[in-house]
Structure formats: C-alpha cells, structure tokens
Chain A
Amino acid sequence: MSTLLRPLEVTLAALDRAAQWLIVILMTTMVTVVSAQVLLRYGFNSSIGWAEEISRLTFVWSIFLGIPLGIKAGSHIGIELLTARLPATLRNGIASLIAGLGAALMLLVCYEAAVITYTQWDEKLASADFSAALFVLAVAVGSAHSALHLIWLAATGERKADQDVTKVLE
C-alpha cells in the first residue's frame, strides 16, 4: 500500500469507530424518546415537548452516519449485470472511475451543506436550545465521511461486499 494512503486508512478506521458508537447513542435516544412519549401520553397524560424534533434530528444523523458505513460494507445497491461480464482490468478501472465520481459528488454535497451550516448556525430549533443547522451538519459530516470511503475505493480498488463492519464494536 502506498504511504500516501496509510493516513487515509488510519483516519477512516477512527471515523468508522466514532460513527458506530455515535449511531448506538443516537438509536438508543430515538427508541427511548419515542417509546417514552407513548408511555407518558397513556400512563401520565403528559408529553415531552421536544420529543419529535429531537428524535427527527437523531434519525437524520443516524442515516447520514450510516451511509459511509454502508459504502464500507458494500451495502449500497447497484446494478452489476453489465460490469460483471467485463474483463477484470476493465471492470476494476470502471469501478475506480465510478468511485471517484461518487467521491466528487459527496464532496460537492459536503461543501454545500457546510456553507448552509455556517450561515444558519445562529438559528435555533423550535423546541430546544440547539442550532437548527445541526440537521444540515449531519449531511455535511456524512458526505465528508462517505467521500473519504469513496476516495479509498477509487485509489485501492478494494471492494468489501457484505463485510461485517460491526466487528470494531466487539
């Protein structure tokens, strides 16, 4: 492996681990908040004012943190009927090109989301004292992480279809 790629590999390993633990926290929050809302409504005739907005925020974050892990795991669905019939060299070349194009797309999304996050940072959520830009920040963070995975794929050609990415949680 090129020495240029080693820092990327280390960065991705750290980001993946952080994303996974963050997902565990977010999922736990989502389940707790939404089920507590039902319990409070029927058990105590009460409700949590911020429940829906915070659970939506945690959901958006869990999706955008899950997208790069899906790239790593080879979970995103694609049509491989055509490329599977090509010679290996051509197939790998196309795969690298496609991963590079995907990386460019995610970098563009990341940049635009980062600009919006910066300009909207002072706006607050309706029900809690958090920045409303946290929603778009999820898009920026998830896209940046995805772009790094796609750059890795483009550079190494390494394809890990159906890989169990949860091993780092053990």
Chain B
Amino acid sequence: MSLLIILVFLGIALLGMPLAFALGTAAVAGLIVSDIDFNLLPIRMMNALNAFPLMAIPFFILAGELMLKGGIMERLIDFANALVGRLRGGLAHGTMLAGLGLSTVSGAAVADASALSSTLVPSLKKIYGPGFSGAIVAAAANLGPIIPPSGAMIVYAFMAGPSVSVGGLFMAGVLPGIILVTSMMAMCSLVAIRRKFPRTGDAFSWRKIFYELKRSFLILLMPVVVIGGIVGGAFTATEGSAIAVVFALFIGFFVTRKLTLADLPKAMVRTAITSAVVGAMIAFASVVTYMLTIDLLPIKLSQLLQSLTSNPLVFLLLVAFSLFVIGMFLESIAAYTMLVPLLHPIALQYGIDPLHFGFLFVFNLVIGMLTPPVGVVLFVVSSVAKIKLGELVRNILPFLALMYGLLFMAIVFPPLALTLPRLLGY
C-alpha cells in the first residue's frame, strides 16, 4: 500500500496537482486498497490542525506582515547602513544585517525575499549589477527560517512530536545563523575587493549609529521580548507569537505611524491564505502518514537504514544527501510534512539529539530553497527584482557552497547547534 500511495502522489504531483491535494488523492488511493472508511479523511485532517502550537504559524506571519506594512524595513536598513555602510561592499553588508534584523521578526524566507528585493535591489543593482545584487538578497532572506522565530522550525517541532521543543529548536538556529551571516559578509568583502566595488556609504559616525539605534530600538526589542519570553518560559511559542502581533500593531500605529486600520483586513486574509497553504499540506499529509504507519513503513525504513549502517554520522550524511536532492525539486513544507514523521523517530533510534537532527533537517531544506531548479526564494527574487534566473543562479553558487560547508560542520560538530540550547536548559 505504501508504494501505491507514493506512486500516486508522485504521478499526480508531477502532472501539476498542488502538493496538498496530491497528498489527499494518494491518501484516498490508500484508503480504497486497504478498505478503510473514507471518514478517516476529515477526522485526521481536523485533528492534525486542531493544535494550539500550530497557531504560532499565522501569528508570526501576521506579525511580519504588520511590521513590514508599518515601515520597519526602512529603519532596519538605515541602522544597518549606519553600522557597516562605509565598508567596501557596504550596501551588501547592510543588506545582510537588514536580513538578519528582518529574520528576527519574520520567520519565513519567502516573505523576507519579497521585502528585501522590493526595498534594496534597486540601490544594490546600481553598484553591484543585477546578478550579485539578487544573490545577496536571496542569501540574506534565507536567514529568515534559521534565526528565530521560524515557521519552518514550528512545523518541524509539530511534526516531530513531544521530543522537540520549539524554543530549543529556535535556540539551535542562533549560533549557526550568526556564523552564517558573518561568513556571508566576509564573502561580500572578498567579492567587493576582487571586483573593486567603490565605497558608497557615509563616513562612520557613532552619533549616527546611536540615532539610528534609537529609531530602531523598539523593532529590535520585539525579538528580545518575544523569543526571550518563549525561551525563558514566560509564555508558549503560540502566546509569544500573539504578543508579537500586538507588538507589531503598537509599532505600526504609534511608533512608525505608517499602519492604518484599513491595512489590517488585507494583512489578515493574506496571512490566512499563507497559513492555509501550510495547513492544507499538514492536514492531508496526516492522513498519508497514518496510512504509511499502519503499513509499517517507518519500521521497514528504519530496518533498511540500520542494515545499511549503524553509524549515526553516516545516517546523518545519508539524510543530508537525500534532503539535498529532495530540496532541489520539492517545496520545503511538503518535505517537512511527509518526511519528519518518518525520519525523526529513526534519528532518535540512532541516538542523535532531537534538536541537532531538527536543526540539520531545517537548515538543509532552507538551503534547498536557494537550490535550482526549484528554489522558491530564487523565483521570488527573480520575479520581484526583475533579475534573470540564470544570472541569479550563477551568483548564488558561492553562497550555496558556504551554506553547505556550514551544514557539514554542523553535522560533524553538534555543539555548533546544541551549545546555546544546552546553556538555556533544553
């Protein structure tokens, strides 16, 4: 039955059916051959979504939407440029820091890619040309799901079950995220020196930095309150995400004063649609996962993998390679909903730390969002910034190499991801 479900899913997904509905159709095929009542469909779909932790997804998306509408990008960019604008390749550094700042209030690479492309690419293009400009923005946007909050990590933790805490997984991303942004800035410097990009920013001034810090202070305070509250146990991830929405409303209405009441309904409907795309996949995948489980596929897969290797490192490398290939073709949410319930329990059997495996899984698929041919962040940057995809792909390759290098380091050196969660008691 498992083989039939997988074949039906792949067949109709390749014919262009949205992945959520392809999962649903595959589940129906499984129900027919195993003679199980169709009423399993709505029951499992509803139960899959009837979960308080999942509510953090729309809340963080809505908070991000409201922050962007409230004009935070402009302040983050000004602050980033005051810090690093004078360096060679200063605007590229500023974009990386703006991406880092944005990733602390938004948990999605696609939304960040769209926001960064529309605001920064026109200025970047004038200095660096279209290809490198697009690559900088795409790489900076990919920090979104690595630095907390992270929609991908919320979905992972939910699909993995009680062995993974959202707060712990959030913290696992912090150190690698900082290393990544620092390495990417170093790479920007190298490229800037090699290609002789001019210095463009204003002269470095502590006064300007303090002025911009004052303007951005409340925006930068939001992740401290929200993520700090979640990690410190003051509230759950869902409650923290609702606080983020209230915080974003406060900033938009009273600090930047760019948000209007008329903006709210649109932001809410857009949020509901984005969440529904994820929700539909989780709902239908829950039926498929149930069918695969009663067919004992997870056990068979576990036995197969353990017959191949008993070494956790080899297992991690096998998973990383599989996710590299899958990430090239499949959208990441689909991969979380289908693969986490299968692979996470096997990782535990290998004695791998659940937070370590969770971080590697998320990071791997996040890099997949930049990997052609199906790199959703590349598509967004290419379409919003009007940059040819081929040119973008050529320029993104060094950033991809850096990310895969960091992934490999995180595989062989678990403290890279685990030090901060351990220090905080996870």
Give residues in A with beta carbon < 8 Å to B.
20-21, 23-24, 26-28, 30-31, 34-35, 37-38, 42, 52, 55-56, 59-60, 62-67, 69-71, 73, 75-83, 94-95, 97-98, 101-102, 105-106, 108-109, 112-113, 115-116, 135-136, 138-140, 143, 165-166, 169
Contact = CB atoms under 8 A, between A and B. Distances in A.
B399 to A, nearest CB: 23
Interface string B231-254: 000110011001101100000000
Contact of B273 (A59, A75, A77, A135): A75
B271 A169 contact: no
Contact of B17 (A21, A37, A78, A113): A78
A106 B273 CA distance: 17
B67 to A, nearest CB: 14
A79 B374 contact: yes
Contacts of A116: 39, 42-43
Interface string B274-285: 111101110100
Given A21-B265, A77-B331, A136-B46, 14 more contacts: A23-B269, A24-B265, A30-B55, A31-B242, A35-B243, A63-B276, A63-B280, A81-B14, A82-B16, A94-B16, A113-B42, A139-B45, A165-B273, A169-B266
Nearest to B25: A105
A64 to B, nearest CB: 8
Nearest to B274: A75
A136 B41 CA distance: 11
Given A70-B277, A75-B277, A138-B46, A55 B52 contact: yes
B251 to A, nearest CB: 15
Contacts of A66: 269, 272-273, 275-277, 279
Nearest to A91: B16
Contacts of A62: 58, 272, 275-276
B220 interface: no
21 contacts: A20-B269, A24-B265, A26-B272, A38-B243, A55-B55, A66-B275, A66-B279, A67-B280, A69-B272, A70-B273, A75-B274, A76-B280, A77-B20, A77-B331, A77-B334, A81-B14, A108-B28, A113-B41, A139-B42, A143-B42, A165-B273
Residue of B25, B234, B271, B277 with most partner-chain A CB within 10 A: B277
B174 interface: no
A43 B21 CA distance: 45
B383 to A, nearest CB: 9
Interface in B112-166: none
Contact of A76 (B18, B39, B246, B266): B18
B51 interface: yes
Contacts of A60: 46, 49-50
Contact of A52 (B14, B52, B331): B52
Given A34-B59, A79-B19, A24 B45 contact: no
A78 B269 contact: no
Contact of B21 (A55, A63, A64, A76): A76
Interface residues of B, number: 63
Given A69-B272, A165-B269, A59 B17 contact: no
A152 to B, nearest CB: 15
A30 B275 CA distance: 14
A166 to B, nearest CB: 4
Contacts of A34: 55, 59, 238-239, 242
Nearest to A115: B39
B14 A82 contact: yes
Contacts of A24: 264-265, 268-269
Given A69-B273, A79-B330, A109 B16 contact: no
Contacts of A21: 265
Nearest to A110: B42
B277 A27 contact: no
Contacts of B39: 112, 115-116
B235 A38 contact: yes
B379 to A, nearest CB: 11
B73 interface: no
